[in-house]
Chains A and B, each alone.
Chain A
């Protein structure tokens, strides 16, 4: 943003020669979050302690826990809007202009189709990564043979940045959807594998012995005891995979391909269309926030029992 502020305001539609966005994209790729950045033990969903007996509606709970935070966001937008009335700076535009552009881009522009294409590709990669990642990671944690077989490959590929693998994918799969799905799949796979593995290894000795004394078969032990026990870890893995996928969703469009939200953002930047650029970035941020919230909601649902022991309402 600081860089943008220094560039001189240019009339809409002008295309500059070089691609100033290329370096930014490279930076983004390098700064991909490492998969073990988040602690393996899932933290409680943020939120103030609420009385355990009273069941609040999700909306009221949301207002209670995030109300002040969202007030801050609204305040910033208001200050921005008011200051743009006092002195309009085209490089940072103003909320109402961005909103108007956003509405036009959504209703008749290319924002939604491009975003839709990216999300579709991401969803395919993610949906493929979930069963594969969970199966590999979980079995590595539960079976010595599987662990011995896969551990070296997983470690080598896991520590290779996706940015290094990307050119290989482009070479063999082109720049169309197949390549993009492959990238999402690869990137999403490893957080899932690592966390599923940690979850499978976390099954306590007493719990395993309980399964033994109730004479569960190997398969029953995995299904009824080990997998549910590992579930909180697996959900953390899925959320990490989602985060990485969102980063890549934008980056792929910038690096390769001529469609998708990344390409759309890059184009807006090259055209110095500040309103469109910011509208697109905010849309991506919103999508990220919504997907994450959706995940947290699912996590709350699935691990309802955890809150009782954590002491959260």
Chain B
């Protein structure tokens, strides 16, 4: 990308010394090894966007990353997506070492309104995903392609919206289009950056169920960033809590509650309540210490 405007922040060439907590990471679908990110602030100071983090995510896992704003969770996701350069460490996805957006990964943005192509119909937005997809071309000819697009739209519950424009749809439906577009690219890994935080509460519930269904049916590896601890616990097998101000991983908690999970029953489950109290207390405690 050759945009004329100078980026406000640039990666520093100096690596942070002594990466902490370097665990032997050999197995796993996504392997994050001592990954850190520094920015240069406008006044020339070096800001730690993310202090070295190491973790391994196995194939087909649903993992959430939570934390207060400014904890580096979005930075972490953008690093995995190859949208930003690493200051330290390395990330491998499958056999591919991340340097730029990996082929097998698709990213769902929080800001669906700006991520969709507003001049294209819903169907043509999904076609964009299909044409710029991972692996061999799945449809030959316009008719076959249209059929495949209809299937993807049906998968996210958007029957009969093929020739509508994104601007005609509600926020929740637009995010569904973005998800259908990502799925059309047949990725192995789906990265979601606070995908439902701009959506109204009722739609959020159905979208959460939708993403769980897609994850299970397709066997995707999902990395989900959110500031909502309850959402993270409901969706994931594993929740990673980041310390404030990019200070790295605070807690890596397994959510040992079987699927399918019910929106109402799940929130009355003892194990959920215990985990929620635990994680929430942790976040609030750190908050108090900081102030």
> Which residues of A are in contact with B by a Cβ distance under 8 Å?
140-145, 147-148, 201, 204-210, 212-216, 218, 220-221, 224-225, 228-229, 231, 303-306, 308-309
Q: Are the CB atoms of B83 and A209 closer together than 8 Å?
A: yes
Q: Which 4 A-B pairs have the closest CB atoms?
A: A309-B167, A206-B114, A214-B132, A308-B167
- CB distance A305 to B106 under 8 Å? no
B3 at the interface (CB under 8 A from A): yes
Distance A309 CA – B103 CA, assembled complex (angstroms): 32
Contacts of A218 in B (CB 8 A): 1-2
Q: Are A305 and B4 in contact (CB under 8 A)?
A: no
Given contacts A144-B2, A207-B114, A212-B101, are A305 and B165 in contact (CB under 8 A)? yes
What residues on B are CB-neighbors of A225 within 8 Å?
A: 117
- In the complex, whether B129 has a CB less than 8 A from a CB of chain A is yes
Residues of B within 8 A of A148 (CB): 4
Closest Cβ neighbor of B112 among chain A residues: A206
- By CB atoms of chain A within 10 A, which of B5, B105, B109, B132 has the most? B132
Further contacts, 17 of them, CB under 8 A, given A144-B2, A305-B120: A143-B4, A148-B4, A206-B114, A207-B114, A207-B115, A207-B117, A212-B83, A212-B101, A213-B107, A214-B106, A214-B128, A215-B103, A228-B119, A304-B165, A306-B119, A308-B165, A308-B167
Instruction: Assess the A309–B118 pair: CB atoms within 8 A.
Output: yes
- Jot down 18 A-B pairs with beta carbons below 8 A, ordered by A: A142-B2, A142-B3, A143-B2, A144-B4, A148-B4, A210-B109, A212-B82, A213-B81, A213-B107, A214-B129, A215-B101, A218-B1, A220-B132, A305-B166, A308-B165, A308-B167, A308-B168, A309-B167
User: A229 contacts which chain B residues (CB < 8 A)?
Assistant: 119
Looking at chain B, what size class is its interface with the partner chain?
20 to 34
Complexed CA–CA distance, A208 and B83 (Å): 10
**Nearest residue in A to B106 (C-beta to C-beta)?**
A213
* Distance of A193 from chain B, by nearest CB (Å): 14
Q: Does B111 contact A (CB under 8 A)?
A: yes
A142-B3, A308-B165 known; A215+B117 contact, CB < 8 A:
no
B residues near A (Cβ < 8 Å) are 1-5, 81-83, 100-101, 103, 105-107, 109, 111, 114-115, 117-120, 128-129, 132, 165-168, 185
Minimum CB–CB distance for A286 against chain B, Å = 33
Residues of chain A with a CB closer than 8 A to B167's CB: 305-306, 308-309
- Give the most central of A147, A204, A214, A306: most B CB within 10 Å: A214
CB distance from A279 to the nearest CB of B (A): 43
Residues of chain A contacted by B166 (CB below 8 angstroms): 305
Please report the C-alpha to C-alpha distance between residue A275 and residue B128 in the assembled complex, in whole angstroms: 59
Determine which of A147, A212, A228 lies in contact with B1 in the assembled complex, contact meaning CB atoms within 8 Å: A212
**Is the beta-carbon distance between A204 and B117 smaller than 8 angstroms?**
no
Q: Of the candidates B81, B82, B118, which one forms a contact with A305 in the assembled complex, judged by CB atoms under 8 Å apart?
A: B118
Asked whether, in the complex, the Cβ of B119 is within 8 Å of the Cβ of A231, the reply is yes
Q: How far is the CA of A206 from the CA of B166 in the complex (A)?
A: 16
Give the residue name and chain of the B residue nearest to A311 (CB).
Answer: B167
CB of A143 to closest CB in B, whole Å: 5
Pick from B4, B120, B128, B185: contact of A201, CB under 8 Å: B4
A182 to chain B, nearest CB (A): 29
Q: Is the CB of A206 within 8 A of B111?
A: yes
In the complex, the answer to whether A144 meets B3 with C-beta atoms within 8 Å is: yes
Known: A212-B101, A215-B103. A206 touches B115 (CB 8 A): yes
